[in-house]
Copies of this chain bind each other. A is one copy, B any other.
Amino acid sequence: MKSIYFFDRNQTEGHQGLIKELGGKGAYLAQMSALGIPVPPGFTITTLECLKFLQTNSLSEDLKLEIKKNIQKIETAVGRVLGDCQTPLLLSVRSGASVSMPGMMETILNLGLNDETVQGLAQITNNPRFAYDSYRRFLQMYGHVVLNIESGDFEKVLQTKKKKYDVQLDSQLSEDILKEIIEEFNKIILEQAGEPVPHDVWAQLDAAIGAVFESWNLNRAAVYRNIHGISHELGTACTIQSMVFGNMGNDCATGVAFTRNPSTGVKELYGEFLQNAQGEDVVAGVRIPSAILDMKDIFPQAYGALERVAFQLEKHFRDVQDLEFTIQNNSLYLLQTRSAKRSARALLKTSVDMACESLIEKKEAVMRVKPSSMDHLLHPTIDPVNSTNALTKGLAASPGAVSGMIALSCERALSWAAEGKDCILLRHETSPEDIEGMNASCGILTACGGMTSHAAVVTRGMGKPCIVGCSNLEIHEKDGFVLVDKKVLREGEQITIDGGSGEVYEGRIPTIASTPQPEFFKLLSWADDIRKLKVRANADTPADARRARELGAQRIGLCRTEHMFFEKARIRSVRHMILSHTSAERKEALSKILPYQKEDFIGVFQTMEGLPVTVRLLDPPLHEFLPKEKQDIENLSHDFNVTVCEIERRIANLHEFNPMLGHRGCRLGVTYPEIYDVQVQALMEAACIVKKDGKEVKPEIMIPLVSNAKEFEILEKRIRSLVEKIQKEYGLKFSYLIGTMIELPRAALTAGAIAQKADFFSFGTNDLTQTTYGISRDDGSVFLKHYVDQKIFKNDPFVSIDVEGVGKLVQVATKEGRAANSKLKVGVCGEHGGDPDSIQFFHVLGLDYVSCSPYRVPVARLACAHAVLLSHP
């Protein structure tokens, strides 16, 4: 087992296939080197060595020997020697795991400096300021990473000196000031660590490698792995490279570039650079860098080289690349390349574009886009008709508009999120320590940093709205307020941010869904060619139905009818119906609702233009329609000339201890047949009217909460005879279906009997999960979070279907239902119909369709295609 892989212009031992051993950074550096791209020579110690180190807590003698040999190779390649006083070699020591964990682990730059070698560096570069700037950087990093001293303590010294000597930028610090700073840094280190930074550069190297390995177990890294579901057993590789310097003068720079725009996906070199600076300055977001286009003027030769490298790497790796580079004396050096994290919009556009450019296959493009991101692409933006002026504006780092309470610390964001409150994290800048707080917030707003700052990169990955570099924000964390120009915003107040425009608003601002880009529909059409499951939408109104069709729904899988009872003009009659004593009174009251409902159904049928529409008959318990407030009860009493006392008695009579398990669904249809009669009448008369108008109609009537075949039979028979009667009245004859929700365990267990009379099954997986698990969705949140955090439940079963329990019932019911009735159509209309993981399961079961809310339809279409490709790659 090789423990070290060397790379330079002449000899490269690694390649991109060794990601597991060399980490992403090490493997890609080796590959770039092999491709002839200018990379400073170096070598990578494998992840296996990291795991060994973490067990023994020391570097083995064998490894040390190997390191020494490879350092000598670097020395040969660059003509400098580690620790040599005349021509000292300086090294970078970097972490890099096989899965990208940006900024989560440690790095030490400028290693190899001490009080003697720094003088040699000053001499050979003829740039003492650069040498001492590098030295203070080394002390600062080594002190923090190896000796665990707070970064803030060093920063404080820097700020004091800048103030003292009236200097703005780090690069303006003179050699003498830097020497003063170095003296104070050494004092801090001696005081706090009880020992100085070793003079012996080999000791420096061993300690730095150890610290990089140990950084695998940093808390923030572990949290990141938990959030992203990354194994804790991988370890990090460690890459040791000859330093190149972006901070050696104005012919030097450091920067980050993307081969395509990571926010929009446009095919253009995109990025930022800082002249006369080292790489960490860009990523940390402490100085606002320049746009990469400006490099064309300042570094024309290096810019040309960067363009060529970008084209070469994208073609080689068949994906958008995120590059780190340094310009030393006008020469370009690549320090890193990796697949670029992109906004959902950019990932979509680049995937579609690359397929159109024949760089990748269409199915590859389909697989690259996460189904859930299709939802983000429909993320709301600020309603343009809103006349409010923005309070301020920053950089639009991650799209989407969101409102929430101002949280000035991660602790605050976490505690509010735990209480279920939406909040927006406002920080000067973010750092890897903030990862949990960012995860808990709905959006991020920072005063500092650029488009590739920590906040921008991380939020794009999370699909969360983010604005960075909002420079006129003045944050007073301790005192709990923010100044925007002269306006005071207190912590806890509501603001709205639009990560698509960079605008910040006071209060909660109305948002609207964005209009998706053209690539959105192109990718979905490719997905449609692949998928087997049909996608229907849950839509209750013509407006919903329209949106659903725009987003590609092929049918309506669930049209709830509750809203048809709740609307203002009807609720009076509904209440009268509920308070009726006899079937005749109930019919009388219901007859008043009939014309309204008919209009509703006409609207839905017209919108769907002959596509099937599945209508669910009334489901909620009747008490949901009764008034709760004293005043409303009094009005009702007055309306119907019934005493308040009598109404209260009826309300009390209808009260249920567990309404979820109460007198609802088809139990209403069985006990009060008039209710379903009126619904069926409204539905079928509407269908007849639309049909007479010359449009096709395909009504499907769905009976909810069936637990027993007999229950279904009774209702099916009654409905069928009513439907036939109405069709006769209108002189029409067209086909329609009668089916049922499978949403109780007993329905699933007796599906064979139910299927004998049913045309279709639609799994109501929300209720099926509630009853199978015995967890009320309304009440379960108290312990569900705990259960998911503690991994007692793999997932929240209301988000992704519980395969072992609820899934088993879906499987059994599908099998027995189809065995009893080969024509049975089977689908899902619970929330899981729009969840990618659940869709994968439904595809494997071979269901006919999933139905979900209109905005989830694109998610479902893509997830259905993924399901096919994952099953038969």
By a beta-carbon cutoff of 8 Å, the part of chain A in contact with chain B is: 656-663, 667, 670-671, 705, 707-708, 710-711, 714, 743-746, 749-750, 753, 767, 770-776, 778-780, 782-783, 786-787, 790-793, 802, 804-806, 808-809
- A selection of 28 A-B contacts at a CB cut-off of 8 Å is A657-B660, A657-B776, A657-B778, A658-B661, A658-B776, A658-B778, A659-B779, A660-B661, A661-B661, A661-B776, A662-B776, A663-B779, A670-B790, A705-B774, A707-B773, A707-B774, A707-B775, A708-B792, A708-B793, A710-B791, A710-B793, A744-B772, A745-B805, A746-B774, A746-B802, A749-B772, A749-B808, A749-B809
- List chain B residues, Cβ under 8 A from A661: 658, 660-661, 770-771, 774-776, 779-780
Please indicate which of the listed interface residues A659, A671, A774, A790 has the most CB atoms of chain B within 10 Å of its own CB. Answer: A774
The residue from B778, B780, B792, B809 contacting A711, defined by CB atoms under 8 A apart = B792
Given contacts A783-B671, A791-B710, contact A746 B662 (CB under 8 A): no
Given contacts A658-B658, A661-B658, contact A671 B786 (CB under 8 A): yes
Q: Is the interface of A mostly helix, strand, loop or mixed?
A: helix
Q: List 15 additional A-B contacts (Cβ < 8 Å) besides A661-B661, A744-B773.
A: A656-B779, A658-B779, A661-B775, A662-B780, A663-B782, A670-B787, A671-B783, A707-B774, A743-B774, A744-B774, A745-B774, A746-B806, A749-B805, A753-B804, A771-B771
Task: Give Cα A806 to B774, complex, Å.
Answer: 14
| Closest chain B CB from A727 CB (angstroms) | 28
- List chain B residues, Cβ under 8 A from A670: 783, 786-787, 790, 792
| Closest chain B CB from A671 CB (angstroms) | 5
- List chain B residues, Cβ under 8 A from A778: 656-658
CB nearest neighbor in B for A774? B744
| Closest chain B CB from A417 CB (angstroms) | 18
| Closest chain B CB from A91 CB (angstroms) | 48
The residue from B656, B714, B753, B770 contacting A792, defined by CB atoms under 8 A apart = B714
| Closest chain B CB from A33 CB (angstroms) | 48
The residue from B743, B774, B792 contacting A710, defined by CB atoms under 8 A apart = B792
Q: Which 8 A-B pairs have the closest CB atoms?
A: A661-B776, A746-B805, A658-B776, A745-B745, A744-B774, A662-B779, A656-B779, A657-B778
- List chain B residues, Cβ under 8 A from A774: 660-661, 705, 707, 743-746, 767, 771
Task: Give Cα A259 to B776, complex, Å.
Answer: 61
- List chain B residues, Cβ under 8 A from A743: 774
| Closest chain B CB from A377 CB (angstroms) | 35
| Closest chain B CB from A478 CB (angstroms) | 26
Question: Contact at A660–B663, with CB atoms within 8 Å?
Answer: no
CB nearest neighbor in B for A752? B804
Question: Contact at B750–A805, with CB atoms within 8 Å?
Answer: yes
Task: Give Cα A339 to B802, complex, Å.
Answer: 58
